Amino acid sequence: MNLELRKLHISEIRSRECLRRFNCGVAEIDSWASDKAFRRHAQDRTRVFCARLGADAPVIGFYSLSLSPVGSGLLLGQHADRYPEGFAPFVYIDRLAVMRMQQRNGIGRILLMNALKRAFIVSRDLPFYGVALRSLNDRTTEFYKKMGFAQRENTGHPLMILPIWTIRDLFQTPH
């Protein structure tokens, strides 16, 4: 399916109904989207952003962001000493999903870049080490690696991190 991605509109979740029938093909994500996304957003536990092909069109993808500590032993290089408390602060992408029928059209990449842009904006006012997420499977792990994330564990859902200096390089304009 050829989509006009220029028309993709990403904004905060509007209502409980926005993700009621979301289907990305992963039951755990679909269930969270339909049952918990709006409530957790309203409770300030996460921020959920939905993608539509037009301001009033149905949701075709979403991501959720929160703040989360990550053990400093999982940081890149010699950075653990920056966090003697044992944990480093991260913007965490809790979930990122695209409707099953819309997958492999570039929407996931656009959603990820939108999430990274939001993290960059926050980094101007609040310090944190970077953006982290747990990858769903081997296919998504490879996707995140291509986007610059470093895999920090060899588990079924490995932790992936992208340090803030890499995100700044993406979005800062030279002086």
Which tens digit of pLDDT belongs to each residue from 158-175? 999 999 999 999 998 665
Residue whose structure tokens are 């291509």: 146
Residue 39 to residue 61: CA distance in whole angstroms: 18
* CB 8 within 8 Å of CB 107: yes
pLDDT of residue 143 exceeding 60: yes
Q: Is the pLDDT of residue 70 over 80?
A: yes
Tell me the C-alpha distance between 94 and 68, whole Å.
Answer: 10
As a whole number of angstroms, the distance between CA 92 and CA 119 comes to: 9
Tokens for 112, please give them: 């990820």
CATH of domain 5-171: 3.40.630.30
pLDDT at 1 over 50: no
CA-closest candidate to residue 155, choices 135, 171, 126: 135
Identify whether the C-beta of residue 49 lies closer than 8 Å to the C-beta of residue 11: yes
Q: What is the pTM of this model?
A: 0.92
